[in-house]
Homo-oligomer: A and B are copies of this chain.
Amino acid sequence: MTRLTEQAVRSLEAIRGQKPLIHNITNYVVMNTTANALLAMGASPVMAHAIDEVEEMVSFAGALVLNIGTLSGPWVEAMLAAGKRASELGKPVILDPVGAGATRLRTETAKRILSEIKVSVVRGNASEILALRDAASHTKGVDAVHSVDEAIDVARQISVELHTTLAITGATDLVTDGRQVVRIENGHPLMALVTGMGCTATALVGAFSAVEANPVNSAAAALAYLGLAGENAAGRAEGPGSFMVALLDALYTITPEDLGAGARIVTES
């Protein structure tokens, strides 16, 4: 078992033991799904977005997850207030820039969060992550990437530019803090046919971040664990409906030992 896999196993044990409270300010579409995923894995979710209570709520939490899907004005202010309070208290903040690059509101909100708050991990797909670059960035665009090695180089550069750890999910997931690069090879194509699977990944990075200080470790552990649950669920599913049900079951039934045996975390450098 590699060092990162061992760390993932210990983190899952810690989540099951400590049941960390994860404060989510997230989109309407996935609130129910991510709350259920966090509960199934052994964490405690809370959803709260009112500007009047987010600073108080985050003070009880082990991590804060900010997700910009179905955004509107008051939510942006609440995310910034909660994020600043979390930073002051030294709590990890995880950002999901849903749809960054698609509309100005989303791109600018994601950038504003990154500039005003210390974000521990950004979890997104490749196009969302590329949309976060500065206008002056010299990093290559997604069209210019022709190999895995180039993709790794680009990811590392953006991580350095944004001063945060990136968890870039796709057929293969990539995690980097600008120096270390890790690939996670767990997962199943059915995961793309259920809404909010990326958002669930982000929430799970939150749960692992609540018990493990190194953001590369916590992001890699979360993605391997969710991917393994997806593989497990796919074997019992007849389509995306039964897949999602089986995935929640798998998040509950997978033991730390199962994770140790099934995680496929590959250290690139």
User: Are the C-beta atoms of B53 and A195 separated by less than 8 Å?
Assistant: no
User: Is A92 in contact with chain B by the CB < 8 A criterion?
Assistant: no
Interface residues on A, range: 35 or more
Give Cα distance in the complex from A30 to B32, angstroms: 6
The stretch of A8-16, A148-156, A174-182, A239-247 that contacts the partner chain: A239-247
- Minimum CB–CB distance for A204 against chain B, Å: 15
0/1 per residue, A202-226, Cβ < 8 Å to B? Answer: 0000000000000000000000000
Nearest to A237 among chain B residues (CB) is B249
Give Cα distance in the complex from A71 to B87, angstroms: 24
Give Cα distance in the complex from A40 to B36, angstroms: 20
User: Are the C-beta atoms of B32 and A195 separated by less than 8 Å?
Assistant: yes
User: Are the C-beta atoms of B73 and A50 separated by less than 8 Å?
Assistant: yes
Give Cα distance in the complex from A53 to B246, angstroms: 35
User: Are the C-beta atoms of A35 and B29 separated by less than 8 Å?
Assistant: yes
The residue in A40, A238, A239, A249 that gathers the most chain B C-beta atoms within 10 A of its C-beta is: A239
B residues near A73, Cβ cutoff 8 Å: 50, 52
B residues near A69, Cβ cutoff 8 Å: 47
B residues near A193, Cβ cutoff 8 Å: 39-40, 252
Give Cα distance in the complex from A39 to B33, angstroms: 15
User: Is A31 in contact with chain B by the CB < 8 A criterion?
Assistant: yes
26 example contacts (A-B, Cβ-Cβ < 8 A) are as follows A28-B31, A32-B33, A35-B195, A35-B196, A36-B244, A39-B194, A46-B99, A47-B70, A48-B71, A48-B103, A49-B70, A49-B72, A50-B71, A50-B73, A50-B105, A52-B72, A52-B104, A52-B105, A53-B105, A56-B104, A239-B248, A239-B253, A241-B249, A241-B252, A244-B248, A245-B245
